Amino acid sequence: MGRQPCCDKNEVKKGPWSSEEDKKLTNFILNNGQCCWRSLPKLAGLLRCGKSCRLRWTNYLRPDLKRGLLSEYEEKMVIDLHAQLGNRWSKIASHLPGRTDNEIKNHWNTHIKKKLKKMGIDPTTHNPVTSDQLTKNQPIIQQETQIPIEEPIVEKIKAKQEENKNIGTTITTIIMPQSQTNLSLQENENIGTCTKNINSIDEVMDDDFCTNEVPLISPNEILVPHESTTSSFSSQSSINILEDFLPNWQCDFNMEISWADDDFRSTLDYLLNDDDVSDMNNTTISQDWSQVLEV
DNA sequence: AAGACGGTCAACCGCTTGTCG
DNA sequence: ACGACAAGCGGTTGACCGTCT
């Protein structure tokens, strides 16, 4: 005997949802929360399969969903994350608040794949397609150019939290993507996030924030203390400052940074307030970062 | 004007994973 | 350890729409 079907296929409606059905589902969930999906349709008065209800809610009706095309920044994130995670759309989606796995998957298949191909990058391996491969239409062989992903630094965060009892602190993750990608600073809400207000380390470890797959890098690992005095920073152009900080990373500050100056500054101030960089003059640094924003 | 075609995306299907008794 | 069930996940489908011929 096989497994029981999740619903009686003869008695459930299929196909596009009507606005009436949407209303019923939304009202029910808003009033009762997300309970057991299997029994939800009956309780909500819907002739739908529970699975269908779950999908409709998660992919379309959820109030926290963003609508519309992915921004350039979100696209970059998707590409970076895809390079690390492959076709694990739900994991990728968990780093882009307001976006669903379905949405990202569709966007990948319809837009990004083409874009990458056009740029001469193989969308599966994220490696450049050689002219030879292009002309001969041969399968692309995985090249060993990928930078190994750094292990999560959860232990350090734990230690840091233990040390400071930093309840309510914002931990910011900076993803250093592989291959051709640029410095990516994640921010909450506006443009996809790896920044999260935490109340406990358990939240950091939470499923929807995958420290396993997106390396958490503590501030001192990103902002390498400069040997010279802080005044030398001020005299440099903002891009050069970053090149000094991140000598081995490509930085592209033409990308859109859509967060507010204050948020950006406070995030960076937090990063720079780390003990390991305590000899830096934070005020000066903040001013430099504000220059970055103007680029 | 109308049919062909291709792109997009919501929805479905079936497999996998997690949880509980 | 095992089976049953619920939920999650990724691949696929098909309806719809715009563009081209």
In degrees, rounded to 5, the angle at the alpha carbon of residue A278 between the alpha carbons of residues A273 and A282 is 60
Q: Which nucleotides in chain B lie less than 7 Å from some protein C-beta? A: 7-14
Q: What is the pLDDT of residue A14?
A: 82
CA–CA separation, A208 and A112 (whole Å) = 24
pTM over 0.75: no
Helix, strand or coil, per DSSP, at residue A184: strand
Under a CB-based contact definition with an 8 Å cutoff, are residues A146 and A86 in contact?
Answer: no
Helix H or strand E encompassing A235: helix A231-235
Under a CB-based contact definition with an 8 Å cutoff, are residues A103 and A112 in contact?
Answer: no
Helix, strand or coil, per DSSP, at residue A275: helix
Per residue in A103-158, pLDDT (tens digit) is 888 888 888 888 887 778 878 788 777 655 554 444 443 333 333 333 333 344 34
User: How far does the CA of A215 sit from the C1' of C12, in Å?
Assistant: 32
Per residue in A39-82, pLDDT (tens digit) is 888 888 888 888 888 888 888 888 888 877 788 888 888 888 88
User: How far does the CA of A48 sit from the C1' of C4, in Å?
Assistant: 23
Is the C-beta of residue A109 closer than 7 Å to nucleic acid chain C?
Answer: yes
Helix H or strand E encompassing A118: helix A113-118
| Dihedrals phi, psi of A23, to nearest 5 degrees | -60, -50
Q: Which nucleotides in chain C lie less than 7 Å from some protein C-beta? A: 4-12, 15-16
